[in-house]
Structure 1
Amino acid sequence: MSSFSGIWVALATPFRDGEIDFPALRRLARQMTDAGVAGIVVCGSTGEAAALDETEQLAVLDAVLDAVPGAAIVMGLSGSNQREVLARLDRIQSRRVAGVLVPPPPYIRPSQAGLLGFFTTLADRAEVPVLLYNIPYRAGVGIEFDTFAALARHPRIDGVKDCGGDAMLTMRLIAETGLQVLTGEDAQLLSTLALGGAGGILASANLRPACFVRVHALAAAGRLDEARALFYRLLPLVRLMFAEPNPGPLKAGLAASGWMTNELRAPMLPASPDLAQRIARTMDAL
C-alpha cells in the first residue's frame, strides 16, 4: 500500500481571460511543495475539473508534473460514463502519477452494488493506487460502510477522501477497514487526525500550506494541545473558505496574495466583495 499520510492540497486552477493560466499554476504548485505538503491533488472539485475538458485537464496535470517533478501528484477522475472513465484512466496513468481520486458517478445515483462494480472495474484496470472520494452532496449518492469494506480488500484501493459528514462512518473506516482516511472537510482535519486518520485533502491549504503541515506534524507527534491551538487559529479562515461555493472564496484569497487573478469559469462566480474583504483581513491576521 502506498502512503498517503499528511496534508494534500486540493489545488486551484488559475484562469486568465477565460483560459488556464499556466505560469500561475506552476508557481502555485511550487509554493505548495516548498511548504512541505505531502502531495497535490489536481483537477478535483477545487480545481474546477467540471469546467475543464479532458484536453485541458491533462494539460493541467502535465504542467504540474513538469513544475514539481519530485512531488506526489494525484489526479481527479470523475464521470458517469464508465467506458469513458476507463479510457481516461489509461491516459492518466501513462503519466507519473501517485494515484487517482475517484468519486461515485455523479447524477445517476447507482445502487451500492453498482458502486461496488464501478470501483472494482476501475481498480482492476488501474496500475496506480486508487483513492475513493465519498462526497454524497456532489455525487448524489454516498458510499456505505459495507461497500467500503468490500472495496478495501482490493489491492489497488488504498484510501478514501472522506466528505461524507458521518462521524460514525469515519471512525469505522479508520478502525475497521485498513483504508487510509483523509478528510476532505477542512474543518474536520484535527478531529480526523485525533481519531487516527491519515491526513487531509484540503482546499484551505492553498493559502497557508505550512500551517496545515504543522498541524499534521504536531498531531502525529502526539502534541495535540499545540496542534489544537494552531488549528483554532486557522479555523476562521477555514470557515470563510466555504461561506460561498468553493473555490470562489479560495480564489479571492489567492488573488489577494498575488498568486492568480480572481477568475472562475461560469456558472461559478467569484466571492462577493464583502466576503473577499473578510478573507483578506483574516489572512492578514494570520
Structure 2
Amino acid sequence: MSSFQGIWVPVVTPFHDGAIDFIGLRRLVSHLLEKHVAGIMVCTTTGEAASLSREEQLAVLDAVLQLVPAQRVVMGLAGNNQRELLQFQSEILKRAVAGLLVPAPSYIRPSQAGLEAFFRTVADASSVPVILYDIPYRTGVTFEQAILLNIVKHTRIVAIKDCGGNLATTLALLASGDVEVLCGEDLQIFNALCLGATGAIAASAHVHTEDFVALYQQVRDNQLSEARATFFRLMPLINTLFMEPNPSPVKAALAMQGLIASELRAPMQTASTGVIERLQQVSMRGV
C-alpha cells in the first residue's frame, strides 16, 4: 500500500496582479510544513489548476518541490483531452513526486467502459502512484460501484480522494482493502477517519492547520472523545470556508493572516463581505 496518510493540503495558488505569486506560495507552503501536514497537493481544484496554463502548473510544482520533500508532494493531473493529458503526465514525471491526483475527464461524460479505459491508460503510463479523484459534481460522471471497485484494483492506483457522496460506495472501498481512502469532503473527515479512511485532502486545513492534524492524530490514537470535540470546534470554520466557491473563502482567510493576497483568476471572484465578516468570527481564534 501507499503512504498517503494524514492531512494533505491541496494548496491554493496565490496571485498578484494576475501572475503567480511565488513568494506568497513559498511563504504559505513553509507555514503549512511548520504545522506538520502530511503533504502538499499541487494544482488541484483548490489550486485553481483549470485557470493555469500547463507551463504555469509545472512552475508551481517546481517551486513547491524546492521546499517540500518529493515523497510529500502530489501533483494534480486533470483534463478531457487524453492525448494532451498523457503528454503533460510525461512532463510531470520528469520530476520526483509522490503521486498524481487524477479525476475523471470532465464535461465529456464518458461511459463506464470509457472511465475504466481512461484510468487504466493513465495508471499504465505512470511511474508513480495514482490517487483517483472521485468528484461527480465537478466532472459530471458518476462511477458505478462495481466499476470503481474494479478500477482501483490496478496496482498503480493506490488511493482515492472520496468526494463521491455515496456512503455505500465509500464503505465498499474501505472494505475492499484494495485502496486507501482519503476523505475529500471536509465535513465528513471525522466520520471517514473513524470508519477507516487513512487521511484527508482538506482545503479547510489551510486554516487552523494544527487542529486538523490533531484531529487525525486523535482518531489514529483512538482518542475519539477528544477527536469529536476537535471536529465540532472546526465545524463552523469548515462551513464558512464553503459558503462560496472554493478557494475564494480560503484565500480570504489566508489574506487575513497576511500569508497571501485574496486574488483569484476570473471567473472566480473574491469572497463577499458577508463571508469575510463570518471568517473574522470563526477563523481568527488564536491568530
Between the aligned partners of 2:71 and 2:124, the Cα distance in structure 1 is 25
Name the residue aligned to 1:174: 174
Name the residue aligned to 1:152: 152
Between the aligned partners of 1:93 and 1:213, the Cα distance in structure 2 is 29
Q: Report how far residue 177 of structure 1 moved.
A: 4.3
Q: Report how far residue 183 of structure 1 moved.
A: 0.9
Task: Let me know the Cα RMSD of the aligned residues.
Answer: 1.1
Name the residue aligned to 1:275: 275
Name the residue aligned to 2:82: 82
Name the residue aligned to 1:98: 98
Q: Report how far residue 194 of structure 1 moved.
A: 0.6
What letter corresponds to residue 235 of structure 1 in structure 2? M
What letter corresponds to residue 28 of structure 2 in structure 1? L
The answer as to whether partners of 2:75 and 2:101 remain within 8 angstroms in 1 is yes
Name the residue aligned to 1:50: 50
Between the aligned partners of 2:224 and 2:105, the Cα distance in structure 1 is 37
User: Identity over aligned residues, as a percent?
Assistant: 51
Deviates more, 1:149-158 or 1:128-137: 149-158
Deviates more, 1:54-63 or 1:29-38: 29-38
For residues 216-235 of structure 1, the aligned pairs below 5 Å read: 216-235=216-235
Name the residue aligned to 1:60: 60
Name the residue aligned to 1:73: 73
**1:167-206 deviation per Cα after TM superposition (whole angstroms, max 9, x unaligned):** 1111111012421001110000001001111110000001
For residues 9-48 of structure 1, the aligned pairs below 5 Å read: 9-48=9-48
Q: TM-score, normalised by structure 2?
A: 0.97
Name the residue aligned to 2:248: 248
The answer as to 2:210 corresponding to 1:200 is no
Q: Secondary structure at the match of 1:178?
A: coil
The answer as to whether partners of 1:158 and 1:179 remain within 8 angstroms in 2 is yes
Name the residue aligned to 1:2: 2
Between the aligned partners of 2:247 and 2:259, the Cα distance in structure 1 is 14
Between the aligned partners of 1:81 and 1:90, the Cα distance in structure 2 is 14
Q: Report how far residue 284 of structure 1 moved.
A: 2.4
What letter corresponds to residue 128 of structure 1 in structure 2? V
Deviates more, 1:236-245 or 1:169-178: 169-178
Q: Report how far residue 146 of structure 1 moved.
A: 1.3
The answer as to whether partners of 2:98 and 2:129 remain within 8 angstroms in 1 is yes
The answer as to whether partners of 1:14 and 1:20 remain within 8 angstroms in 2 is yes
Q: Structure 2: which 5+ residue stretches go unaligned?
A: none
Name the residue aligned to 1:161: 161
Q: Report how far residue 71 of structure 1 moved.
A: 5.6
Name the residue aligned to 1:139: 139
Name the residue aligned to 1:115: 115
Q: Report how far residue 143 of structure 1 moved.
A: 2.2
Q: Secondary structure at the match of 2:66?
A: helix
Q: Secondary structure at the match of 1:168?
A: helix
Between the aligned partners of 1:27 and 1:263, the Cα distance in structure 2 is 16
Q: Report how far residue 262 of structure 1 moved.
A: 1.0
The answer as to whether partners of 1:33 and 1:71 remain within 8 angstroms in 2 is no
Q: Structure 1: which 5+ residue stretches go unaligned?
A: none
Deviating beyond 6 angstroms after TM superposition, the runs of 4 or more aligned structure 1 residues are none
Between the aligned partners of 2:195 and 2:51, the Cα distance in structure 1 is 35
The answer as to whether partners of 1:240 and 1:279 remain within 8 angstroms in 2 is yes
Q: Secondary structure at the match of 2:283?
A: helix
The answer as to whether partners of 1:183 and 1:200 remain within 8 angstroms in 2 is yes
Q: Report how far residue 69 of structure 1 moved.
A: 3.5
Between the aligned partners of 2:151 and 2:33, the Cα distance in structure 1 is 31
**1:123-153 deviation per Cα after TM superposition (whole angstroms, max 9, x unaligned):** 0010000000000000000222212221222
**1:73-130 deviation per Cα after TM superposition (whole angstroms, max 9, x unaligned):** 0000000011111111111111111000000000000011100000001100100000
Distance 1:188 1:255, change over 3 A: same
Between the aligned partners of 1:218 and 1:32, the Cα distance in structure 2 is 19
**1:207-248 deviation per Cα after TM superposition (whole angstroms, max 9, x unaligned):** 121110100000001111100101110110000011000001
